[in-house]
């Protein structure tokens, strides 16, 4: 069971569920009833993207060590691609455009630009924004496009609020990787230190809550406020020497808890 749980986290099944949860929250907030194959897209897209970024060296850069575990992952990866392509036949053109830009972000994150020795992740201060933007595209604008809804001022504000939430949720990972990241990345903890990064996270969550109050984005303010408090607690508890699953399971699991509580309070 321990090995199974470790692989569940390591191979980004948990990330896929987190993205699916945020996309489902968007659907509930906008009164959208997605079909099952649409919901599969919300899971398979991040599952494929994150595993590609994490393990592409095993397949494309001549890394010799390929354990049974990576072979197991490859099987799920191929299955995910198959499901993704099958689902793609049912997607409107606007959704394909969003998926194309998301895929472009993934490729630019993982591979160097033409004429450069580093990828988008290597540009100073850009890493955290790439992550947040890709999550917003997948969990806000993709669900709206699948339902045929046009983008308006409200959906843009909703996207901004989600951007702030994901931005802050990324900070525990940034703090965890402080000693591992290349100094040239200029991540927030590298640039401002851990304490100032935590205060910046609090500032962005205040803006997140302000948007909720001002625009009445969700039907349950107390739940949204509670998720902001929970996430802030994780940010304040973050440190370089974290427990193994602090960020990769507990922080990543906040959207899953959010969706669960949203369902039982409807």
Confidence of residue 64 (pLDDT cuts 50, 70, 90): very low
Rounded distance between C-alpha atoms, residue 118 and residue 109, angstroms: 9
Q: Give ∠ CA 104-109-110 in degrees, rounded to 5.
A: 105
Among 89-93, 198-202, 219-223, top mean pLDDT goes to: 198-202
pLDDT at 45: 84
Rounded distance between C-alpha atoms, residue 121 and residue 110, angstroms: 7
**Mean pLDDT value across residues 125-137:** 86
Rounded distance between C-alpha atoms, residue 82 and residue 76, angstroms: 10
Confidence of residue 259 (pLDDT cuts 50, 70, 90): very high
In 3D space, the residue among 50, 18, 38 whose CA is nearest the CA of residue 130 turns out to be: 50
Q: Is-contact 158 218, C-beta < 8 A?
A: no
Domains of the chain as residue ranges with CATH = 2-265 (1.10.600)
Is pLDDT larger for residue 41 or for residue 196?
196
pLDDT at 198: 95
């Amino acid at each position: 069971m321990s090995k199974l749980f470790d692989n569940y986290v390591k191979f980004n099944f948990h990330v896929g569920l987190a993205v699916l949860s945020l996309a489902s929250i968007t659907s509930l907030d906008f009164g959208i009833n997605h079909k099952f194959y649409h919901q599969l897209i919300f899971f398979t897209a991040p599952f494929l993207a994150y595993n590609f970024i994490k393990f592409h060296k095993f397949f494309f850069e001549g890394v010799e060590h390929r354990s049974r575990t990576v072979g197991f992952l490859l099987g799920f990866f191929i299955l995910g691609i198959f499901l993704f392509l099958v689902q793609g036949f049912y997607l409107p053109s606007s959704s394909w455009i969003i998926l194309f830009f998301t895929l472009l972000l993934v490729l630019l994150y993982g591979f160097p630009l033409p004429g450069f020795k580093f990828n988008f992740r290597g540009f100073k201060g850009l890493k955290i924004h790439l992550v947040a933007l890709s999550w917003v595209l997948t969990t806000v604008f993709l669900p709206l496009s699948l339902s045929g809804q046009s983008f308006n001022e409200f959906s843009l504000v909703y996207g901004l609020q989600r951007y702030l939430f994901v931005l802050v949720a990324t900070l525990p990972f940034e703090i965890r990787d402080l000693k591992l990241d290349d100094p040239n990345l200029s991540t927030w903890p590298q640039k401002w230190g851990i304490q100032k990064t935590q205060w910046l996270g609090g500032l962005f969550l205040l803006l997140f809550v302000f948007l909720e109050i001002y625009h009445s984005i969700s039907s349950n303010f107390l739940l949204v406020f509670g998720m902001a408090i929970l996430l802030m607690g994780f940010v304040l508890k973050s440190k370089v020497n974290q427990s193994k699953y602090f960020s990769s399971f507990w922080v990543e699991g906040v959207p899953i808890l959010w969706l669960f509580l949203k369902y039982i309070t409807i």
